[in-house]
Every structure is written in C-alpha cells, then in structure tokens.
Chain A
Amino acid sequence: DSGVTQTPKHLITATGQRVTLRCSPRSGDLSVYWYQQSLDQGLQFLIQYYNGEERAKGNILERFSAQQFPDLHSELNLSSLELGDSALYFCASSLGTVSYEQYFGPGTRLTVT
C-alpha cells in the first residue's frame, strides 16, 4: 500500500458525460501527479500540482482539467467523454518535486461506452 488513495476504483459512463476522479496523496506529500495509461498511448503524464499550484502540464486534453485543494487532495475532471478516454488513470504523490520518488495510487479504471 503506497498510501495514495484514489476513488472510485472503477467508473463506467457514457460518451458525452462528465466524471470526476479523486486522489488523496500520502500524508505530508505536497506534489500530486496525474497519469493516463491506455492501450494505444501507454503511460502518459497529464498534469502536476505542487501545494495547490499547477507546476507542469503534459498531454492533457482541453476537455480535461484538474485542481489541488487546500487539504492537498486533487481532482481530475474529464468532460465530453469519448470512447478513446477509456483508460486507467493514476494519481501519484511525492514530498517535493524534483528529487523525490513518486508513489502511485491504485488507479481509477474508466470505461466509456
């Protein structure tokens, strides 16, 4: 158990819908990262937050957005869902930024039908 929690574990929804994925980092960790793992794109970095502020952006679609709250939990919002958004979404956290290991949560499996 990495100490990073993600809810829900599984999510099934229809095209065009909007969903919110939630992540609670390890106690004391200030950085939160979101990654997407899909069959065709592999593991891709989406976005990073550090202590409530956006720090880096990867290949995140405009239909996706994220935020980190004062209690350091983070939410990833996916809207206008398409079939291709079906994937495993991981949250990871680290104490700081550069020199610290990232610990991954168990992931949220999103299925868009």
Chain B
Amino acid sequence: AQTVTQSQPEMSVQEAETVTLSCTYDTSESDYYLFWYKQPPSRQMILVIRQEAYKQQNATENRFSVNFQKAAKSFSLKISDSQLGDAAMYFCAYRSAGRWETSGSRLTFGEGTQLTVNP
C-alpha cells in the first residue's frame, strides 16, 4: 500500500516571501500521479498542482511549483510571493496510474501542513 507523509504539521511565512512544504511518499509503483490540494478555512478541497511521475520536468502553476525527486520519493511544494489568501491546510496526495480495474483511482493523502501567512 502507498503511504504519504508530511512531516511539517505547521509552517508560517511572511507575506511576499517564499515557503516550501515537504512531502515524501512510499510506493513500489513506477507510474503514478502526485498532487497538492489546498483546504482553506471554508473546508473546500482545491487542486493546486499535479505532477505525473513519468515527467522529469517539475510542474508549475503561477506562483506554485514543485520539486519532484522520484528516486528520493520526495514531492515538495514551493509557494512564491506568498499572499494572505494562501493561508490554508495543504495536503499532498498520491494516485496510482495502474490499471483502474484493480486499483481504482483513489487518492491517498498525507496528514496535511497548516500554512500561516503573516502580514
């Protein structure tokens, strides 16, 4: 079974600064997807960024980028120019890319990192 670990329960950053959230995962599969979801106080789960394991290039979405290290099974999220609206719980998630008949396409989540943005 796959596991996802977020070792930082809480992080804080000053507005306009850069912060990196860590995530490690354990899998025996070679093909999979990794995601970062954001959960603001409204509790809505919002997809921030996605990375396919077969792609060497790190994904980027505006101020959000990832550092994907497949061999190390590490998937960190970097938020640049942090804004007050970035304050939220951030979840790292794993999904197998295997045959859906056997594995489905469930997301396995980490424990989350609570990000505080200080003005």
Contacts and interface: CB of A to CB of B under 8 A. Distances in A.
A12 to B, nearest CB: 17
B104 A55 contact: yes
Nearest to A35: B107
- How would you classify the secondary structure of chain A's contact residues: helix, strand, loop or mixed? strand
B112 to A, nearest CB: 7
A61 to B, nearest CB: 16
Interface string A26-60: 00000101010000001111001010000110100
Contacts of B47: 101-103
Interface string B78-119: 000000000000010001111011011111110110000000
Contacts of A106: 42-44
Interface residues of A, number: 28
B105 A48 contact: yes
A48 B43 contact: no
B50 A42 contact: no
Contacts of B37: 104
B16 interface: no
B60 to A, nearest CB: 16
B50 A101 contact: yes
B49 to A, nearest CB: 11
A56 B105 CA distance: 8
7 contacts: A55-B104, A56-B104, A94-B105, A97-B105, A98-B98, A100-B105, A102-B107
Interface of A: 2, 31, 33, 35, 42-45, 48, 50, 55-56, 58, 88, 90, 92, 94, 97-104, 106-107, 109
Interface of B: 33, 35, 37, 42-47, 50, 91, 95-98, 100-101, 103-109, 111-112
